[in-house]
Structure 1
Amino acid sequence: MSKPRSLDKSTKEDVSFIDRQPDQLTNQSVGQAEPEVPTGSDCAIAQQSSTQNINALPVDVLPPRLQEIINEANICLGFPKDYLAGAMLTAMAAVIGNTHTAEIMPGWKEYAILFTALVGSPGTNKSHPLSFAMQPLIDFDAEQAAIFNEAMKRYEAAMELPPKDRAAKGYDTNPIEPKRVRFTMQDVTPEAVHRILSENRRGLVLVSDELAGWFKNFNRYNNGSESEFWMSVFNHKAAMSDRKSSQSGVFIRNPFLCVIGTIQPKVLTELAAGNRNANGFMERILYVFPSVQSKVRWNRERKSPSFDIAAAWREILSRLIGIVPAVDSCGEIIPEDVPFSPEALDRLFSWQNEVTDRCNAEGSDTLTSIASKLEIYAVRFSLLLALADRACGDEKKLIDADIVERAIRLTEYFRVTAAKVQGIVSEDALTELQLAVLSELPGTFTTAEGVAIAAKCGMSERSFKRFIKDRKGVLFVHSAHGNYTKL
């Protein structure tokens, strides 16, 4: 298997903050026109509005074999590349689980935990790519469920006998109640999440075709403690549950739990409700949000895939599932650390410093919060891509500079989509006066022009300046000194 191609020099020098975009691929369904991508190594902030419109998940950061599967599924099945790539990344992260870590600094280790939302309007073909990516895990769980059922029958039969008679019947004298091994969860209660997670120490993924069903349950128990639980899980912190409905307290030392599901743009405001847009919950989610939101047409002329893409995908996941981790005396997994090369760390630190400088210069709390979570994801993507490479035949045992470059490009895609989501949520939360001013503002304007327009709408200069400052990077981009562009 060939190794992923290296990024060219212009790509390596062009990854920065939200106003700069990495090289993009067209990831929409076949038959839709490819948008023109701005050229040059430095896209100015004033171009942010147009570049956001063509933002596409950079599928070429993935190993070549995964790219082949995604391209075939796109051409032959009409799966949008963004959705399938995002779902595949999450599936791989789930099966890797607690088996591997990446240490970015002494004592700071990251696991490949992903919270992923496939955002799209009705009819944009979100669910089929999600089902395709998760099917090998569903099949694995079905096989394990059958094994569990047989083991449970044997356990129950043994328990019906007196201990002294069990050995004669071929049973253990003190049988251990079997646990169901699995990778996926779906519509489960909070109590079930804790129990299943405690029984599956490698890791799990919560698959929710409609993410609204996930977060709408947050306030049903203990005044929103579920939101805090999920934020703790995102950070891989020990979790515990002492609810009255539990027979005993549940303690999970190393919880690994990914989340993935679909959501419509109009439901994003509900995701942001309940203080979730203020406590950092929203920023923990990766938004796969294709620019083209058209309903996909059926096409009788589509060809069959040139190879068995389902089998190829299953083979890759099987290699990751086949990882057998070491465990300690308590049964806890001992993760293998995947080290960064010195050059990889240099590149990662340089990128983080550049983003931090831009955050400090912009002064936007929203963009700073997004950046803080995405730098965590950059480390996780580095780990995930390194292990994806291994599953596709690469024998490298470390995270090199090429992998970091690919991880950065992937991270920058999610910076744009996070800002896009914040723009939707922010606009829905505007007052009537703010909406009126936003409507009257042209695509580009100076501070003086904006103040004059706001005054005509009845907004004071001070309120207007605070308005654009609070929405900087979400509704507006500071394109030059005293100049702004609407997103």
Structure 2
Amino acid sequence: MEKNITLDTVISALASHTSATASDFPIDVFPAKLQRLVLELHTSCGFPIDYTASAMLAAISVAIGNTHRVEVKRNWRESAIIYMAIVGRPGANKSHPLNFAMRPLVNADWKNNQEYQKQFRAYQEAIAMSRKERVNAGYDQFPKEPKRLRYLVSDVTQEGLSVIHSHNPRGLCLWVDELASWFKNFTRYNNGSEEQFWLSAFNGSTTMSDRKNSQNSIFIKCPFISVVGTIQKRLLTELANGERAANGFIDRILFAMTKTTAKPRWNEEEVREDLDRDWERILNRLLSVPCNLNENQEPQPIIIRFDNEAKKSLYVWQHRNAELCDSEMSDNVISFFCKLEIYVLRFCLILRMARWAVLDETQSPEMIEVNDVDGAIRLAEYFRQNALAVITCVSEEKLNDLHRTVYDHLADEFSTADGIKTAERFGMKDHTFKMFLTRNLNTLFKRIRQGWYRKMSCYSTNNVTADGEV
């Protein structure tokens, strides 16, 4: 008699071939079918789990768009908008997982473009006719230019993005393979206004754009624009340049990072033939949900609320996060932690809609349940540690020569007294060293017990708290 193989069995088998240290991403927050996709791509193609899973979060975010929002309290609603950066050195296999995750959206855009081209040819034929000829040919007397439906944009100006979004109220995703090209272009036409646009877009705030040489303004009351792309680790400092480290811009970005720096090796494992189709079916189920519009053509998202148990679990986590903020000494760290309170809500919506799509539930989801919150919390904690690693990278790069020398010569773990001795060897006074230590707690140093510290690395995954002074 043939043994019955369940999906859980397949996932366990795949996971057994995956190194336990390969990823900290909490992959089991996903439904089983999504877990299987991530693990299969890891074993057959060498796609890092962190990259594939994070790219899927971004793709699901886009597929949801303005169709749903999660309500915490009356008049407090969050969309599924996320800004995602996949971080790694050159050759770390960053782009391929992202390409896989976004492919269903590319395919949908291609089909929409084919339909648009067909409609545009008919429109051109119509406007070339006289009014009488149009009527006789069955065209509208005053034909309207068709609008191209799409989900993805790439190299686009703020004005151009606003125009495209006005034609696509469901929402968009800015997908750039190299995120550096995104933030480096913020001042290409003016000084800083594009950066302010992205700060507001993250919050889903109403945007207005005055078109050049036109009397018309574009007014988007309910914007939805997610951002996803890759970035090399060495460019993280540029991302934090200028005011971006102080105005909350960098804090809005989720960083997907791997624990290993080893380049993936090719192997004999073959990719399952229908793997792409499985992912496309899941994402297309989300894309099939209509975006409801009111009489003014503004989105009217379906509202999902928290059940009582889920809300209690959410509040417990928020209280813990608030305690971390209260005890933290670094403003940069606090800012990241505060943004996590927004993201945990968005993760709840993304995970709930992913579960709905995978399980083929007939009814639209009405409630966020406790397992959605628990999964969202685990995602928030994963991205918390990655954010701290990014802050460490940026802090290291910004050290002056003296601080860099002292930092490099400190032992991985050291006492305050040992640190002072090391600093004095290079001409740094003891009070200057103590100030250096205090100001960089949880960015360059972690306090492990009274009077003892550990240097943090860019890929540190240790829990970080601040509970005392030097």
- For normalisation by structure 2, the TM-score amounts to 0.90
Report how many aligned residue pairs link the two structures.
Answer: 443
Match status 1:264 vs 2:229:
no
Q: Which is bigger in relative contact order (C-alpha 8 A, separation at least 6)?
A: 1
Please name the residue that 2:312 is paired with: 346
| 2:294–2:300 contact (8 Å) kept in structure 1 | yes
| 1:123–1:294 contact (8 Å) kept in structure 2 | no
Deviations 1:263-309 (A, max 9, x none): 1101111111122111111111110010112212222x22342x511
Match status 1:377 vs 2:346:
no
What is the alpha-carbon distance in structure 2 between the residues aligned to residue 102 and residue 150 of structure 1?
38
What is the alpha-carbon distance in structure 1 between the residues aligned to residue 171 and residue 308 of structure 2?
30
* Bigger mean CA offset, 129-138 vs 243-252: 243-252
Match status 1:313 vs 2:313:
no
Q: State the Cα distance separating 1:192 from its structure 2 match.
A: 1.8
| 1:55–1:416 contact (8 Å) kept in structure 2 | no
What SS class does the counterpart of residue 219 from structure 1 fall into? coil
Please name the residue that 1:471 is paired with: 440
Unmatched 5+ stretches in structure 1: 6-24, 36-53
What is the alpha-carbon distance in structure 2 between the residues aligned to residue 436 and residue 411 of structure 1?
34
Deviations 1:380-427 (A, max 9, x none): 000100000000116453111111011000111101111111111111
State the identity as a percent: 43
| 1:55–1:413 contact (8 Å) kept in structure 2 | no
What SS class does the counterpart of residue 295 from structure 2 fall into? coil
Aligned-residue Cα RMSD (Å) equals: 2.1
Match of 1:423 among 369, 376, 392: 392
Structure 1 410/347 Cα, relative in aligned 2: closer, same or farther at 3 Å?
A: same
Match of 2:407 among 438, 449, 452: 438
Q: State the Cα distance separating 1:196 from its structure 2 match.
A: 1.0
Q: What letter corresponds to residue 143 of structure 2 in structure 1?
A: P
* Bigger mean CA offset, 358-367 vs 329-338: 358-367
Match of 1:113 among 64, 70, 81: 81
Q: State the Cα distance separating 1:207 from its structure 2 match.
A: 1.0
Please name the residue that 1:483 is paired with: 452
What SS class does the counterpart of residue 392 from structure 1 fall into? helix
What SS class does the counterpart of residue 338 from structure 1 fall into? strand
Q: What letter corresponds to residue 95 of structure 2 in structure 1?
A: S
What is the alpha-carbon distance in structure 2 between the residues aligned to residue 76 and residue 400 of structure 1?
34
Match of 1:303 among 255, 267, 270: 270
What is the alpha-carbon distance in structure 1 between the residues aligned to residue 120 and residue 92 of structure 2?
43
Q: What letter corresponds to residue 302 of structure 1 in structure 2?
A: E
* Bigger mean CA offset, 181-190 vs 159-168: 159-168
What SS class does the counterpart of residue 187 from structure 2 fall into? helix
Deviations 1:231-255 (A, max 9, x none): 1100100112225366733221111
Please name the residue that 2:461 is paired with: none
What SS class does the counterpart of residue 220 from structure 1 fall into? coil
What is the alpha-carbon distance in structure 2 between the residues aligned to residue 412 and residue 221 of structure 1?
38
Deviations 1:157-210 (A, max 9, x none): 222223343211110112222110000111223332121112111011111111
Structure 1 295/62 Cα, relative in aligned 2: closer, same or farther at 3 Å?
A: same
What is the alpha-carbon distance in structure 2 between the residues aligned to residue 32 and residue 68 of structure 1?
12
What is the alpha-carbon distance in structure 2 between the residues aligned to residue 261 and residue 135 of structure 1?
14
What is the alpha-carbon distance in structure 2 between the residues aligned to residue 462 and residue 394 of structure 1?
63
| 2:18–2:43 contact (8 Å) kept in structure 1 | no
Q: State the Cα distance separating 1:447 from its structure 2 match.
A: 2.8
Q: What letter corresponds to residue 44 of structure 2 in structure 1?
A: C
Deviations 1:78-102 (A, max 9, x none): 2111111111110110011011111
Q: Describe how 1:148-227 pairs up with structure 2 within 5 A.
A: 148-227=116-195
Please name the residue that 2:98 is paired with: 130
Please name the residue that 2:39 is paired with: 71
Please name the residue that 2:58 is paired with: 90
Please name the residue that 1:388 is paired with: 354
| 1:122–1:295 contact (8 Å) kept in structure 2 | no
What is the alpha-carbon distance in structure 2 between the residues aligned to residue 122 and residue 425 of structure 1?
18
Structure 1 59/33 Cα, relative in aligned 2: closer, same or farther at 3 Å?
A: closer
Please name the residue that 1:13 is paired with: none
* Bigger mean CA offset, 468-477 vs 263-272: 468-477
- For normalisation by structure 1, the TM-score amounts to 0.87
| 1:454–1:460 contact (8 Å) kept in structure 2 | yes
